[in-house]
Structure 1
Amino acid sequence: MGAEQTMAPWLTLTEPAAGGRPRGAAPTRRALVVRLVAAAALVVFVVVAVGVLVARRLAEDEAVNDAARSAELLADVVVEPALGAGLLDDEAERRAFDELIRARVIGDDVVRVKIWDADGTILYSDEPRLIGETFGLDDEELEVLTDGGVDSEVSDLSAPENRFERGRGTLLEAYHSVTAADGEKLLFEAYFPYDRVSARTSELWTAFSLLSAGSVIALIVLLAPVGRRLFVLVRRAQSEREAMLLQAVDASASERMRIAGRLHDGAIQDLTASILALRSAASSARATGDAALAGRLDDATATLRANLGGLRTLLVDLYPPSLTAAGIRPALDDLATAVRGRGVEVRVVEGPHRALDPDEARLVFRVVREVLANVVKHARATEATVELSASRGRSRSESVVVEIRDDGRGFDPELLHSPASGHVGIPLLVDAVQSAGAALSVATAPGAGTSWRLELPGTPPARGGAA
């Protein structure tokens, strides 16, 4: 048919609810507990992550300050008193200074020493390959050299003057101004291992994490009774809401049944009797030779028969007895028969699928009825197909899929986002499908026919169950 020849892209009007549970249903106690535990775990994770960052920053700042104090102490107590005027030129003086540095400064806490002049030349280092090289001093180092004081930071091991320290891992460096015996201001630089930062970070992080995690756990314990009370209130409100909805649905079904009963026992019976009486009168008129009267009676009979067909269609729409008595297929067949009487050939195709519960059957009937009503009113179609089948998703649950296709003129699907005034059938249908936790899609375009797809998700099979 025409609708099958041209396939427009699918437009999803509503997604299925997770796990097939209707949207708006109250979460179970287990779901609330899982959410609470997940939220608590997230909070603890964030607290721990922040604690690591804060502890590392505090530990690094503390280690840098310790390095500055250590460099200042070494410079004042050990280095400056031993500085002679010929550190660069006098080999004996440099050897004696080197022995002092290696004996009293270099060790586990200090891994490298350099002494600079104002030009950026290294006058001394325990790494002799650096002695005599010039690299220049940056602004901070010059400020310490000229104004005194101390400065410290994490070493930039990519700098050329630090090329011999690169195999030692991350280091801290500290500067302090010292004065040689001849009055020349020099810059003392000491390098410290970064291990103290890691150790201090661990200490601070442990204390911070225990305090923060303990606070979070205490807060959760304090809020647990409140959460339990809220859960009870939510469940009670949801139960009352569901009871009211069920009462409204039952009342609506009872009212439809009452109206259908009155139509069947009243107007339909009266019209049937009138048709029989008119048919008998027409036969009598023909017997007496009054052809004109017989013709008028036949016309009246045809009009009443058409009205009777309309009332029977309305009766099926109001309360399809086959839906509750025999299942969804006979109800769809009755619906198709009613639509055929309005000029559209409807075919119902049913493949293998799981059984529908009563709520699902009512939803399927409602969707098919609304779509076929639109086919009759707006599509100018000659054929339509209603197909039921099964589909298995990634969750291994079996969904029931209902597709309604027609060969009509189609429409612009964007019109569904802004329906015309008074056209509320499809929006109400979308709301009903969404409330049931199902999915509804449409594929259409001007001149391409229309296809509707309703998907009713099933419940995933239990693990360990029978295959």
Structure 2
Amino acid sequence: MRLLRHPVVGFLLVSGALLVVIAVVAGRLADRAAEEGALAERRATNRLVTAALVEPYLKERLFPGSSKSLPGTLDRFDREMRQLVTNSPARIEALTVRAADGTVVYAPDLSLIGQVYPLTAAEEEALLDGGTGSAPAGDRAPLVPAGPDGSPEDLVQVFTGSQTPQGRQVLVEAFYDVQDIEARRAEIYNAYRWITVGPFLLLVVIVTCLLTLLTRQLRTASRDRERLLRSAISASDAERRRIARDLHDGVVQDLAGTAFSLSALSRDPATPTRARDLLEDTGVALRDSLKALRSLLAEIHPPDLHARGLAAALSDLVAPAEAAGIEATVAVHDDVAHAPDAEVALVWRVAQEAVRNAIRHSAAGRLSVEVGAAPSGLVLEVADDGVGFDPEAVRDRSSYGLRGLQSLVEDTGGSLVVDSAPGEGTRVLLRVER
């Protein structure tokens, strides 16, 4: 799943999908264009053949029933057309000529001469304007000859309008092998395909390289930022340890010694009764202050912050809740015992801020802190039944401490969710990713 979130992988997946769509659409368009291009070449060939090789032999005496018909005219025309078909580089399979009324002037099967096969609308249009058209030859039987495989369906009819020197209009029809046209269509299609898909592939390669470079730069910057954050946290921890050590070795020890001295003095028989009561009250106040100071020291920096000491550290953390009238519970599951110190430290940081906010602002009656282990890392949940708040309303407040930990949690690959609403308490959920 983490691999799928990589920007380069995501880009390649999207590009692959787009490439498939483009290839399908462009393939269909290119196939149509290639087919039209192949037929256009055959139409151009047919115009050239008609003008250069057929029209010179179209004499008036060739037409059936012509008064100028001479013996042998049809035989000579038949020889010329058969030689044309045999020697044609365009690989013409057969050639026929029809008059404007559909009468067959010439066909390879001489028995068809004189028979009438009405012209189609496209053939009539080509006849009138001297243009060229094409159509499947299968529906022109028996006028069309059999193709290479013995079927008229294997041929394509290409027709061109022409006329004799005397002005009589004729339709010259050539029949070409479908396989030849398909081969030419494939050649044209391949050229179109690389023209359409090639630039996109090149663009994908270039953008992938740029995106990979930018991703590496961003990851380097992110690692530098994470290193700075960790350095700042390490410096903060060191300063917290120093302050806690100085307080513990100085003020706390002095106050503890003073409290013991006051207690001993209050029990001395030589001390007047009135002074004894005052000394006892002062000793109790000092001991209460020592408890509060020790809780503060634990909050500044717990003395035993690792997996096995996490439960004790969290218990010290929630100790001030009792003074605020909040019933606090701490639950650390056994599967947390082998968690890395870095994860434990992050859990402590988030729990510290969440508990501090709950004690100060929630007016809650109950507060629970629970830590467990998941396959991906540790899971912390801090929940209270207090007044709650609107997370959107405080999102821009720089004083909201959990925001300061959000970036650090995200840099580790984890997630920090604050779920709250007015009157419904607050739930802070941390998931630490390994």
Same fold by TM (over 0.5)? yes
- Distance in 2 (CA, whole Å) between partners of 1:255 and 1:431 is 22
Deviation at 1:437, TM superposition (A): 1.3
Q: Which residue of 2 aligns with 1:434?
A: 410
Q: 1:311-390 maps to which residues of 2 (within 5 A)?
A: 311-324=293-306, 326-353=308-335, 355-390=338-373
Give aligned pairs, total: 391
Distance (Å, rounded) in 2 between the aligned partners of 1:55 and 1:69: 20
1:414 to 386, 392, 414: 392
Deviations 1:264-314 (A, max 9, x none): 1222223333444555566679963428x946972x555544543333222
Q: How do 1:260-271 residues align onto structure 2 when only pairs under 5 Å count?
A: 260-271=244-255
User: Does the 8 Å contact 2:94/2:174 carry over to 1?
Assistant: yes
**Closer, same or farther in 2 for the Cα pair 1:278/1:327, shift >3 Å?**
closer
Q: Does the residue aligned with 2:335 lie in a helix, a strand or coil? A: coil
Instruction: Encode CA deviations 1:102-159: one digit per residue, 9 max, x unaligned.
Output: 95669995679898998xx866699x9xx75675349xx84x655545567xx699xx
1:115 touches 1:187 (CA, 8 Å); kept in 2? yes
List runs of 5+ in structure 1 lacking aligned partners.
1-16, 88-94, 393-397, 459-467
Aligned to 2:121: 136
2:393 is paired with a residue of what secondary structure? helix
Give secondary structure in 2 for the equivalent of 1:321.
coil
Structure 1 counterpart of 2:45 = 70
Q: Does 1:195 align with 2:182?
A: yes
Query: Based on CA coordinates, which of the two structures has the bigger radius of gyration?
Result: 2
Give the aligned partner of residue 383 of structure 2: 405
Checking the alignment, whether the CA contact within 8 Å between 1:52 and 1:201 is kept in structure 2 is no
Distance 2:233 2:41 in 1: 76
- With a CA cutoff of 8 Å and minimum separation of 6, indicate the structure with the bigger relative contact order: 1
Shift of 1:56: 6.0
Q: How does 1:62-211 map to 2 (within 5 A)?
A: 62-76=37-51, 77-78=53-54, 81=58, 84=63, 132=117, 136-137=121-122, 142=125, 146-148=128-130, 150=132, 176-179=160-163, 183-185=167-169, 193=178, 194-201=181-188, 204=191
By how many angstroms is 1:399 displaced? 3.4
Structure 1 residues 231 and 133: CA distance shift in structure 2, 3 A: closer
Residue pairs, 1:224-303, within 5 angstroms: 246-279=230-263, 288-290=272-274, 294=277, 298=281, 301=283
1:11 maps to what in 2?
Answer: none
Q: Is the 8 A contact 2:37 2:185 kept in 1?
A: no
CA distance in 2, matches of 1:252, 1:168: 91
Alpha-carbon offset, residue 431 of structure 1: 1.4
Identity of aligned residues (%): 28
Q: CA deviation at 1:386?
A: 2.1
The offset of 1:430, in angstroms, is: 1.4
Task: Please tell me the root mean square deviation across aligned C-alpha atoms, in Å.
Answer: 5.8
Give the AA of the match of 1:427: R
Distance 1:59 1:426 in 2: 64
TM-fit CA distance, 1:361: 0.8
Q: Is the 1:110–1:191 Cα contact (8 Å) retained in structure 2?
A: yes
Measured in 2, the distance between the counterparts of 1:330 and 1:456 equals 21
CA deviation profile, 1:220-246 (whole Å, cap 9, x unmatched): 9xxx9x999999999998887666555
Distance in 1, Cα, partners of 2:379 & 2:131: 80
Matches of 1:259 and 1:56 in 2, distance apart?
Answer: 79
Distance in 2, matches of 1:237 and 1:409, equals 40
Contact 2:409 2:432 survives alignment (8 Å) = no
**Runs of 5+ in structure 2 lacking a partner?**
67-73, 145-150
What amino acid does structure 1 have at the position aligned with 2:321? V
Shift in Å, 1:369 = 1.2
Q: TM-score, normalised by structure 1?
A: 0.61
The aligned counterpart of 2:2 is: 18
For the 8 Å contact 2:98–2:170, the answer to whether it is kept is yes
CA contact (8 A) 1:347 1:385 kept: yes
Of 257-266 and 347-356, deviating more is: 347-356
